[in-house]
Amino acid sequence: MDLLEELDTEAEESGFSSRSEYIRHLLLNRPDIRQMATADDSSATTDSTRVEEIEQTIEELADHHDELTQRITDLEEEVEQLHLNADQPTDSSPPVSSTPNDSPTDHHPTPTEQPKESQLSAEEQRVLDNFKRWLDNNGPQSDDARTVLVDAAHLLGEQGPLGASELRRQLYDRHPDAYSSAEALWASTVERLYDDLPGFERPEYGMYMFDQEAPMESLADSPD
């Protein structure tokens, strides 16, 4: 069994959701690891050397993981931009400008005005309620993370499919105080938990959607 497989096994046995999360835990607890390895005087030198080798390997894997994560984010944004460019209208006619004859009672929304959210149908509300119950039983312990994931399901059900960068932007706009940045919010919620979330799908690279019907069977058996 090579090192990556060992790390995967250790992560699963220790209750971590992914290898990268386990690696970061090891990095944060290096002093404790070193102390444990050097507790036995008869093998202190050998254990210390082994710990240093493991630390070096972990650091290299963590750096590589960060590079891959950033590259994936960049590629998702590039793909989303290509989709946006493809959807742009080709009509080059100049826009019709307003004239002094415009009615003074006409209301033009300002940039600061936010659109009102549409009312959920009974079925959509039932799906979200089931998804909330699934998160309470199986999701992350963080209240902020669960709230963001429910909001992501709502946005995708209402507007989806959405590109990764657009979904990330909307979620951070709605929860600016929950995480230090949009990237931190994304890495702690959708990106980290996507594979385990019922109803979340990627119809194509860089795009996300929430299937209103798919999660119902898996959620129906969730304990109350």
Q: pLDDT, tens digit, for every residue of 153-179?
A: 899 988 878 999 999 999 999 999 999
Ramachandran region, residue 103 (left: φ > 0; alpha: ψ -120 to 50; beta: rest): beta
Measure the CA–CA gap between 73 and 70, rounded to whole angstroms: 5
CA dist., res. 2 & res. 58, Å (int): 13
The DSSP code for 161 is S
For the segment 62-75, the average pLDDT, to the nearest whole number, is 73
The pTM (predicted TM-score) of the whole model is 0.48
Report domain 122-220's class: mainly alpha
Section 10-29 average pLDDT: 80
pLDDT in tens, 193-224: 888 888 898 888 889 999 877 654 455 444 44
Can you tell me whether residue 14 is helix, strand or coil? coil
The separation between CA 211 and the C-alpha centre of its own chain, rounded to angstroms, equals: 17
Mean residue pLDDT of the chain comes to: 75
Element (H, E) at 147: helix 143-159
DSSP letter at 27? H
If you compute the radius of gyration of the chain from its CA atoms, what whole number of angstroms results? 24
Give the whole-angstrom CA distance, residue 108 versus residue 128. 34
Torsion of CA 98, 103, 107, 112, to 10 degrees: 40
Q: What is the pLDDT of residue 208?
A: 92
Phi/psi at 196 (nearest 5 deg)? -100, -5
For the CA atoms of 4, 7, 38, 53, what is the dihedral angle to 10 degrees?
20
Residue bearing the bigger pLDDT, 36 or 42 = 36
